Amino acid sequence: MTTGYPAAGRSPGPNVAPDGIVRASFAFLAVIAFGVLVAAYPLVSLGVLAAGVALAVLTRSLARHVDREAVGRVSLPGLGAVEYRFTRS
């Protein structure tokens, strides 16, 4: 009894576009290149990773502590006061 699936190791045929294969190849090469870059510059990679994590933590912390309904006011010497409000888009 056959299930309709091609046998292992056989080509799916001419009607299947190779786009997925090309994307997978580029993704694989990008992962390899990223690994080589991390191995070549470990301190820079660690710094970029630490900065990214710190930025993510700061963004989440700021978003959690900001009251979206409150109106803030900043007084600028010589220019007056500026009001601001965080809104959802």
What global pTM score does this model have? 0.46
With respect to residue 3, please indicate whether it lies within any of the assigned structural domains.
Answer: no
51 domain-assigned: yes
Structure confidence by residue, pLDDT tens digits, 7-33 = 555 666 666 566 678 888 999 999 999
Q: Is residue 6 part of a domain?
A: no
- How high is the pLDDT of residue 32? 96
Q: What is the mean pLDDT of residues 47-57?
A: 94
pLDDT in tens, 30-48: 999 999 999 999 999 999 9
CB 85 within 8 A of CB 70: yes
Distance from C-alpha of 26 to C-alpha of 20, rounded to nearest angstrom: 10
- Domain presence at residue 12: no
Domain membership flag for residue 50: yes
Residues 59-77 have a mean pLDDT of 77
Amino acid at 32: I
- The radius of gyration of the chain from alpha carbons, rounded to an integer in Å, stands at 26
Task: Say how far apart CA 72 and CA 63 lie, in whole Å.
Answer: 15
pLDDT at 63: 76
For residue 56, tell me if it sits in a domain. yes
Question: What range does the domain containing 69 cover?
Answer: 34-85
In the chain, how many domains are there?
1
- Whether residue 66 lies inside any domain: the answer is yes
The answer to whether residue 26 sits within a structural domain is no
